[in-house]
C-alpha cells in the first residue's frame, strides 16, 4: 500500500488531462507506488469535500484514507483509466452512504438525489447566468464567489447550512468554498459536466444565501 499524505491541504495539484491520469493509473496498477501517491495528491481535495458533506471533522480524515485504500485495492477493476476522477467520486459517495447508515441517529441523508449527470441541471441556458449567482467568470474560465456573504458568517454555521442542502449543491459548494477548487477543476475531478457544476454552484449559492439570511 502506498504512503498516503497526512494533510490533504498540502495536496493542491494543477489541472491535468485525462491522459495524464490514465498513465498514472496504468503505472500504479503495475506496482508504482509513487504514481498512486500522485493520484492521491490530485484527488484528495475532491474526496475530502464530498465526505465532509455528511461526516464530522473527526471522522472525515479516516474516511478519506478508507476511500483511497479501497481505490488502491480495486484499481484493477477500473475499466477506463482516464475515468479515475468519476470512479473515486463514486467510491467516496458510497463510503459516505455507508457512514451515514452506521450513524443514522446523528446524520440524515438528503431527500433529493441528483440526476444521472450528477447535478440538478445540465444546461447553461436555463436562465441562471453565472454573473447573477455570485460566481462571475474569473480569468482562465473559472468561477469564484463574490461579495461579503460567506466572509461575514462563521464557518461552522455556514458548513452546517451547506450540509442540509441537496447533495449536488452540497458537494459543489464544499468543493468550491472549503476545498478552494474552481468550476473547471470540480468538473474535471468529479467527472461532472462543466454546465452541471456551474448550475449547481449558482443555485446552491442562492439557496445557501437565502437560508443564512433567513
Average pLDDT over residues 80-94: 95
User: Burial code of 47-79, b = ≥16 C-beta within 10 A, e = fewer?
Assistant: bbbbbbbbbeeebbeebbebbbeebbeebeebe
Look at residue 69 and tell me whether its pLDDT is greater than 80: yes
Q: What is the total count of domains within the chain?
A: 2
The grid coordinates of residue 119 equal 447535478
Q: Are 97 and 144 contained in the same domain?
A: no
Average pLDDT over residues 182-202: 94
How many Å separate Cα 13 from the centre of its chain? Answer: 14
| Residue 75 placed within a domain | yes
Confidence bin at 106 (pLDDT 50/70/90):
low
| Residue 110 placed within a domain | no
CA distance 92 to 50: 7
The pLDDT tens digits for 95-104 are 999 988 887 6
Residue 33 has what DSSP assignment? H
Confidence bin at 138 (pLDDT 50/70/90):
very low
Q: Is 179 helix (H, G, I), strand (E, B) or coil?
A: coil
Confidence bin at 15 (pLDDT 50/70/90):
low
More confident residue, 153 or 159: 159
The C-alpha angle 110, 111, 113, rounded to 5 degrees, equals: 85
Q: Are 15 and 94 contained in the same domain?
A: yes
The grid coordinates of residue 33 equal 507506488
Q: Are 161 and 92 contained in the same domain?
A: no
pTM greater than the 0.85 cutoff = no
Single residue among 57, 82, 102 that ends a domain in this structure: 102
- What residue numbers bound the domain in which 58 lies? 8-102
High-pLDDT (> 70) share of the chain, % = 68
Confidence bin at 32 (pLDDT 50/70/90):
very high
Q: Are 144 and 192 contained in the same domain?
A: yes
Q: Are 206 and 144 contained in the same domain?
A: yes
Residue 75: give its domain's CATH number: 1.10.1740.10
More confident residue, 136 or 128: 136
Closest CA to 82 of 14, 26, 1: 26
Average pLDDT over residues 178-201: 94
- Lowest mean pLDDT, pick from 6-15, 91-100, 169-178, 184-193: 6-15
| Residue 198 placed within a domain | yes
Q: Are 135 and 73 contained in the same domain?
A: no
CA distance 151 to 16: 30
Q: Are 95 and 156 contained in the same domain?
A: no
Average pLDDT over residues 145-163: 66
Look at residue 170 and tell me whether its pLDDT is greater than 80: yes
Amino acid at each position: 500500500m502506498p504512503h498516503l499524505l497526512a494533510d490533504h491541504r498540502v495536496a493542491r495539484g494543477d489541472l491535468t488531462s485525462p491522459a495524464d491520469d490514465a498513465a498514472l493509473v496504468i503505472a500504479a496498477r503495475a506496482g508504482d507506488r509513487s504514481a498512486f501517491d500522485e493520484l492521491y495528491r490530485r484527488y484528495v481535495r475532491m474526496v475530502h469535500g464530498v465526505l465532509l458533506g455528511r461526516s464530522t471533522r473527526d471522522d472525515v480524515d479516516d474516511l478519506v484514507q478508507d476511500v483511497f485504500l479501497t481505490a488502491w485495492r480495486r484499481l484493477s477493476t477500473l475499466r477506463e483509466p482516464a475515468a479515475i476522477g468519476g470512479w473515486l467520486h463514486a467510491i467516496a459517495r458510497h463510503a459516505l452512504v455507508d457512514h451515514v447508515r452506521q450513524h443514522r441517529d446523528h446524520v440524515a441523508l438528503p431527500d433529493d438525489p441528483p440526476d444521472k449527470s450528477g447535478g440538478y441541471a445540465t444546461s447553461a441556458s436555463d436562465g441562471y447566468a453565472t454573473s447573477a449567482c455570485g460566481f462571475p467568470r474569473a480569468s482562465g474560465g473559472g468561477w469564484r464567489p463574490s461579495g461579503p456573504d460567506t466572509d461575514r458568517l462563521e464557518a461552522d454555521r455556514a458548513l452546517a447550512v451547506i450540509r442540509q442542502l441537496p447533495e449536488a449543491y452540497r458537494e459543489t459548494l464544499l468543493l468550491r468554498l472549503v476545498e478552494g477548487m474552481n468550476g473547471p477543476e470540480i468538473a474535471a475531478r468529479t467527472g461532472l459536466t462543466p454546465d452541471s457544476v456551474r448550475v449547481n454552484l449558482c443555485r446552491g449559492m442562492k439557496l445557501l444565501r437565502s437560508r443564512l439570511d433567513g
